A and B are shown apart, each in its own frame.
Chain A
Amino acid sequence: MMKKVFERVYLALLLIFMYAPIVTLIVLSFNSSKSRAKWGGFTLNWYVNLMSDEAVASALVNTLTIAVLATVFSTIIGTFTCIAMIGISKKMRSVIMGITNIPMINADIVTGISLMLLFRFLHLSSGFSTILLAHITFNIPFVMLSVMPRIKNMNFYVYEAALDLGASPAYAFSKTVLPDLVPGIVSGALMAFTMSLDDFIITYFTKGSGFETLSTLIYSEVKKGIKPEIYALSAIIFVVVLVLLFIVNRAPASKTNKK
């Protein structure tokens, strides 16, 4: 009995520590007083102001453009890499997976700085294209991580069965291998989109000047002094990412429940 109570209290404390800052942020985004210490009544003004803010609007467009393009490219590259790995030995496969996982476990700041140095070295002018390249780079491992288990569990006799029944290799692939991979590809793409959407550090080091995404915009605004509009913006980003992550986690489950 005591143990149970203790467990509950512990869990509650844990959740409070984790979510108190975000809850504070969301509450403040509806606070009509600019003060962070006192509640001045409920308002949607900050959200309304946000809509008319041109800097925010252009940063939003930049963020979404980069996230969508980075997702498309990294999903294609990651998926094809996984498919290509069907043909190689198990040992080689784990070596390649190890190498592709390094950017994921590497500190963002190291990845960011090394990408920045590489782009300088190659004389690529910083801006949209360098951010896009950086995002594609760090997204590929996430796509591969979610597609690879599907490849491992695949019954390749199904592909051979399609060939056996007269299908060309391309038709057999699209009818047998691809449908099996789709759930993995979808969750990989959502994961990549989420990662791209909320990345700050790598973007910051590869963006150059004069180009802002939402995260870098928030950072530079915060340096100038905190405006409540930023609370609103952060709250929106939090909710969007939360929803995406929720979908990612639900996607494989709904696939297996299907009759």
Chain B
Amino acid sequence: MGKDLITLEHITKSYDGTTILDDLNLSIYENSFVTLLGPSGCGKTTTLRIIGGFEKPDMGRVIFDGQDITSLAPNKRQLNTVFQKYALFTHMNIADNIAFGLKIKNKSDAYIRDKISYALKLVNLEGYENRMPDSLSGGQQQRIAIARAIVNEPKVLLLDEPLGALDLKMRQDMQYELKRLKEELGITFIYVTHDQEEALTMSDHIVVMNQGYIQQEGSPEKIYNEPENAFVADFIGDSNIIRATMVRDKLVDILGAKFDCVDTGFGENKPVDVVIRPEDVELVAPEAGTIEGVVTGLTFKGVHYEMDVMANGYEWLVHSTKLSEVGSKIGIKVDPFNIQIMNVPESEDEEAISETV
């Protein structure tokens, strides 16, 4: 890890009586690629805008590099933003767009020229200096927006769903491009998205948010493999989330069948939620499985088959490279390591704040 570059302390923000963020605390390390991930309305964009200075929190402080910048205007902050809708200056050509920040800082013409060609090279758009923004594709415009931001040598680049308006192929290309840029520039990226795949591909650190609270934060692997609650499990990819009973340490009763697991400390005969990823469900001969079921649905997805298996009253989602025909009887087995046990929230409110408790 590194040292803290940005710290949000007790940030609270509401609009017209609706609380968007409630006592949010977050530390962002230097040189990391941090993604704020969550559904729309979860407060991720508001968090980013507070860091950028476009919104003021009702309460709380924003600390940047040891200094309180809570009430500093956006034009005085050492960070730059890439907006969702490109936000290029349509009446200026590409070179003038990129030079905008540098001209304000009264840099020399030679310096500006060097920076423009360096930035265009970095985003693979050499020779585009005299083009107008309208004549560029969405992906190209977004790359210009990134170039325009990074020539100012910010310590942090904020990206607000920058790939949201692009088509799938372009989005995937840009994900690798952004990751490469991050490595080359060696600065901190704070990225906002609702796309879990994007988050998993690019981030060093993911912050999952919902209803203004941080649900869980950690590395992509940790978030994916060990979700702390049903919301995170469900939001990060397809999952089988099943209400179950923890019989005792390392033994869980799922839909009436006893599964071995590795979790301890939940108590005896306590209700829990279990998460089992579809690719972790093994389909075996009926008598070899822990539960017996029938295949009810089959879809070919390219790299794998997606199957629905009805077993003990629950429809399991299964991803497998081995085909099982619809109607065939089948056994379900799960490796103990792949069963993730989570506490059951007692109310919806607790679900939202379970992380902060």
Q: Which residues from chain A sit less than 8 Å from chain B, CB to CB?
A: 155, 157-158, 160-169, 171-172, 175-176, 179, 259
Shortest Cβ gap from B147 to chain A (Å): 12
In the complex, which residue of chain B has the Cβ closest to the Cβ of A172? B75
CB within 8 A of A161: which of B83, B91, B105, B134? B83
In the complex, which residue of chain A has the Cβ closest to the Cβ of B81? A164
In this assembly, does B89 line the interface, its C-beta being within 8 Å of a C-beta of chain A? yes
| B104–A171 CB distance below 8 A | yes
| B73–A163 CB distance below 8 A | yes
Inside 8 A of A162's CB, which chain B residues have their CB? Answer: 89, 100
In this assembly, does B101 line the interface, its C-beta being within 8 Å of a C-beta of chain A? yes
How far is A249 from B145 in the complex, measured between Cα atoms in Å?
34
| A165–B85 CB distance below 8 A | no
CB within 8 A of B152: which of A155, A165, A179? A165
| B85–A155 CB distance below 8 A | yes
How far is A53 from B90 in the complex, measured between Cα atoms in Å?
51
Contact with A along B218-253 (1 / 0, CB 8 A): 000000000000000000000000000000000000
In this assembly, does B52 line the interface, its C-beta being within 8 Å of a C-beta of chain A? yes
Question: What would be 8 A-B contacts, judged by CB atoms less than 8 Å apart?
Answer: A160-B87, A165-B104, A165-B149, A168-B75, A171-B104, A172-B75, A179-B91, A259-B135
Q: Which 9 A-B pairs have the closest CB atoms?
A: A165-B101, A157-B87, A161-B87, A157-B83, A166-B104, A163-B74, A164-B81, A158-B87, A163-B75
Number of A-B contacts (CB under 8 A): 62
Shortest Cβ gap from A173 to chain B (Å): 12
CB within 8 A of B134: which of A160, A168, A259? A259
Count, chain B residues at interface, CB 8 A: 27
How far is A164 from B104 in the complex, measured between Cα atoms in Å?
11
Contact with A along B141-179 (1 / 0, CB 8 A): 000010011001000000000000000000000000000
Inside 8 A of A259's CB, which chain B residues have their CB? Answer: 132, 134-135
CB within 8 A of A165: which of B73, B90, B134, B148? B148
Inside 8 A of A169's CB, which chain B residues have their CB? Answer: 75
In this assembly, does B54 line the interface, its C-beta being within 8 Å of a C-beta of chain A? yes
Contact with A along B100-125 (1 / 0, CB 8 A): 11001100000000000000000000
CB within 8 A of A160: which of B54, B132, B149? B54
CB within 8 A of B80: which of A158, A165, A171, A179? A165
Pick from A165, A166, A167, A168 the residue with the most CB of B within 10 Å.
Answer: A165
Shortest Cβ gap from B210 to chain A (Å): 25
Inside 8 A of A161's CB, which chain B residues have their CB? Answer: 81, 83, 87-89, 145, 148
| A167–B87 CB distance below 8 A | no
Inside 8 A of B84's CB, which chain A residues have their CB? Answer: 157
How far is A171 from B74 in the complex, measured between Cα atoms in Å?
14
How far is A259 from B91 in the complex, measured between Cα atoms in Å?
10
How far is A158 from B52 in the complex, measured between Cα atoms in Å?
14
Known pairs A161-B87, A165-B152, A175-B89 / 5 extra A-B pairs, C-beta < 8 Å? A160-B74, A164-B149, A167-B75, A169-B75, A171-B104
Shortest Cβ gap from A178 to chain B (Å): 10
Pick from B54, B104, B105, B132 the residue with the most CB of A within 10 Å.
Answer: B104
CB within 8 A of A176: which of B54, B89, B149? B89
CB within 8 A of B100: which of A160, A165, A168, A179? A165
| A160–B135 CB distance below 8 A | no
Shortest Cβ gap from B51 to chain A (Å): 11
Inside 8 A of A171's CB, which chain B residues have their CB? Answer: 104
Inside 8 A of B88's CB, which chain A residues have their CB? Answer: 158, 161
Inside 8 A of A158's CB, which chain B residues have their CB? Answer: 87-90
Inside 8 A of A164's CB, which chain B residues have their CB? Answer: 52, 74-75, 80-81, 149
Inside 8 A of B104's CB, which chain A residues have their CB? Answer: 165-167, 171
| B89–A160 CB distance below 8 A | no
| B85–A157 CB distance below 8 A | yes
In the complex, which residue of chain A has the Cβ closest to the Cβ of B78? A166
How far is A6 from B21 in the complex, measured between Cα atoms in Å?
67
Shortest Cβ gap from B305 to chain A (Å): 43
How far is A162 from B85 in the complex, measured between Cα atoms in Å?
14
How far is A157 from B85 in the complex, measured between Cα atoms in Å?
7
Shortest Cβ gap from A199 to chain B (Å): 35
How far is A179 from B88 in the complex, measured between Cα atoms in Å?
13
How far is A165 from B88 in the complex, measured between Cα atoms in Å?
12
Given contacts A158-B89, A259-B134, contact A166 B83 (CB under 8 A): no
| B75–A166 CB distance below 8 A | yes
Pick from A163, A166, A259 the residue with the most CB of B within 10 Å.
Answer: A166
Inside 8 A of A157's CB, which chain B residues have their CB? Answer: 83-85, 87
Pick from B73, B83, B84, B152 the residue with the most CB of A within 10 Å.
Answer: B83
Shortest Cβ gap from A39 to chain B (Å): 54
Inside 8 A of A176's CB, which chain B residues have their CB? Answer: 89
How far is A158 from B87 in the complex, measured between Cα atoms in Å?
4
| A160–B81 CB distance below 8 A | yes
| A166–B134 CB distance below 8 A | no
How far is A164 from B159 in the complex, measured between Cα atoms in Å?
12
Inside 8 A of A175's CB, which chain B residues have their CB? Answer: 89, 100
Inside 8 A of B85's CB, which chain A residues have their CB? Answer: 155, 157
Inside 8 A of B152's CB, which chain A residues have their CB? Answer: 165-166
Shortest Cβ gap from B78 to chain A (Å): 10
How far is A86 from B100 in the complex, measured between Cα atoms in Å?
25
Pick from A160, A164, A179 the residue with the most CB of B within 10 Å.
Answer: A164
